[in-house]
Amino acid sequence: MIQTELSPKKKRKVASLEEQLKTDFVTLSSHQLRTPLSAVKWFSEILISQKRGKLNRKQLDYLKEVHRSNERAIALVNDLLQVSRVEKGKLHLDLVRLDIAELFEEVINTNKLTLSANKMTYHFEIVNGPLPALEVDKAKVKRVMQNLFLNAIKYSPNGGHIDVVVKRTQKEVVCSISDSGLGIPIDQQDGIFQKFYRGGNAAKVQPDGTGLGLFIAKSFVEAHKGKIWFESEEGRGTSFYFSLPIKAK
């Protein structure tokens, strides 16, 4: 049998085709999953409300767990669709002018119950204010903030502390989220923004994570012509930063 080795050009073409097929499969699967997941969400919420009949404590607990698990599945499907849009270059920004500090306070307020449940404290500070209104996609920037703030909660011990700083510089606004958590080992830092990447510490603390949150955050920030980076020391916590440019009115 004669074996013919592919040329480098053909190898690249095959690899590109395989990647495209994977992306198309993820997109199609995610869209197909949305309908049944939405049905589970709708029916479980009706049953939990007990408007169609009373439930005993065990039944209610089971249904709440079904609902929580379904919410995680919906979040994963939405993340996969976002990844697909990023990879196809179809990430659309719906730009509005808004106050970034107010948006961050909104995110913090949404998570106050989680902070309380973990006996955690936080400090929020604006440096070099007042801040200019920025032209951003509100939902996407809020998602970046939510991802980073929730990570700070997840990877910090009970009783930990989070510092959030929004700072104006000459050409951009820089947001930072610093936690008192595990920190990221230096040998696990290089791949932190890659899709599906989960370092050893992250996998131990949050085994249900997908490894998509930071990839999506990076994609959203860069779509705004901003930058995202971090500083971390194992055992001493992590600080994530992202910047958004100040544009003239």
Looking at 70, 88, 106, the residue that finishes a domain is 88
- The pLDDT-based confidence of 137 (bands split at 50, 70, 90) is very high
CATH of the domain at 63: 1.10.287.130
Give residues with Cβ within 8 angstroms of 30, minimum separation 6: 77, 80, 81, 84
- One domain, residues 137 and 214: yes
Q: Tell me whether residue 24 is in a domain.
A: yes
pTM (2 d.p.): 0.75
234 in Cβ contact with 214 (< 8 Å): no
Look up residue 245 and give its two tokens: 């440019």
- One domain, residues 60 and 104: no
- One domain, residues 213 and 158: yes
Determine the residue type at 162: I
Q: Tell me whether residue 14 is in a domain.
A: yes
Q: Quick: pLDDT tens for 78-96.
A: 777 777 777 777 788 999 9
Domain span at residue 77 reads 8-88
Residue 231 and residue 239: Cα distance in Å, rounded?
Answer: 5
State which of 19-23, 48-52, 180-184 shows the largest mean pLDDT.
Answer: 180-184
Q: Tell me whether residue 2 is in a domain.
A: no
Residue 26 and residue 33: Cα distance in Å, rounded?
Answer: 10
- One domain, residues 185 and 134: yes
- One domain, residues 105 and 214: yes
Q: Tell me whether residue 78 is in a domain.
A: yes
Share of the chain above pLDDT 90, in %: 40
Lowest mean pLDDT among 60-64, 107-111, 115-119: 60-64
Instruction: Work out how many domains the chain is built from and give that number.
Output: 2
